[in-house]
Amino acid sequence: MSSVTVRVPAKVNVQLSVGPLREDGYHDLVNVFHAVSIFDEVVAKESESITVQVNGKWSDQVPTDDGNLAIRAARALAKHAGRTYGADLVIQKEIPVAGGMAGGSADAAGALVACNELWGLGLPFEDLMEIAGDLGSDVPFSLLGGTAVGTGRGEQLCELPTGGTFHWVFALADGGLSTASVYAECDRLRAASGAEVPWPQLNDSLMEALGTGDAYALGAHLSNDLQAAALNLRPELAPTLDSGRQHGALGAIVSGSGPTCAFLAIDATHARDLALSLTTTGAAHTAVAAHGPVQGATLV
């Protein structure tokens, strides 16, 4: 096999509860991931070395050296297999870079699946998940897809049943936000308030809404403990969230560490109308309708 193509989705966090800062610099999380129909494609081609090329939207913002998570994923897979392998990785970007939608993690998951197939390793899904967890907190979910709750740093996953399809609109912002800087701002704001940070807990009402497919209930229970920090760093996101609510969004939230804003719609028609309203009013320069849950990294 000389070439393998894998499609891998973006994610939105419908609940992101962040616990106190740990001694190792991480936080314990309750992180409810939901995979949505915005996809990157990762193509792995035969080669004597591991390289990456990035095409499409935001390609100029993606590193092509050792800082690229897809390269690190391919190298980690080769090391796990105990041999030297090569692959030219070509990434077609549609997921925003540094947008809070796990674009880099998605590419890493795509590289794992593509290189496992290209190199004929035949490693089971469980092995790929183990490697993914070492690469980053969001990479295992990019492999799994669907809807799942992540605990620990977010990498310990449990699949959640979802009773239907949810329709979303994502307002894409100019420029990205560093996940590390948003967490640091969250810690700073908490320290300044002096309030005790509670241990993160899964929202039972949100779980029920997901299980029954009730978009209205889900919209009422969307939550993100990083949102205040993201809005502090990017105050212009607040009017975007307000505009989505004014145009009938069932819920409006910053996705992950931002700056992408996510809006839950009633159905596909409402999502298209909402995306159009956000762009024509200038609340967002780009708004994309999508649905979820969708599968994780998948051979195509």
Beta bridge partners, 231, equal none
103 is in an annotated binding site: yes
Q: Which two tokens stand for residue 235?
A: 């105050």
CB proximity list for 90: less than 8 A, separation 6 or greater: 42, 43, 45, 52, 53, 54, 55
Q: Residue 184, CB half-sphere, CA atoms under 13 Å: how many?
A: 6
Residue 11 appears among annotated catalytic residues:
yes
CA-based torsion, 79, 93, 118, 145: positive or negative: positive
97 is in an annotated binding site: yes
184 is in an annotated binding site: no
248 is in an annotated binding site: no
Q: Which of 40, 138, 214, 225 is catalytic?
A: 138
Q: Which of 11, 40, 93, 107 is catalytic?
A: 11
105 is in an annotated binding site: yes
Instruction: Say if residue 298 is exposed, middle or buried (CB neighbours under 10 Å; 0-12, 13-18, 19+).
Output: middle
Residue 134 appears among annotated catalytic residues:
no
106 is in an annotated binding site: yes
In 3D space, the residue among 154, 50, 169 whose CA is nearest the CA of residue 102 turns out to be: 154
Task: Give me the long-range contacts of 204-207 (CB less than 8 A, separation at least 24).
Answer: 206/14, 206/15, 206/32, 207/160
207 is in an annotated binding site: no
In this structure, the dihedral spanned by the alpha carbons of residues 173, 176, 181 and 183, taken in order and rounded to 10 degrees, is 60
Beta bridge partners, 158, equal 149
35 is in an annotated binding site: no
Per the annotation, binding residues for ATP are: 96-106
Per the annotation, binding residues are: 96-106
The residues carrying an active-site annotation are 11, 138
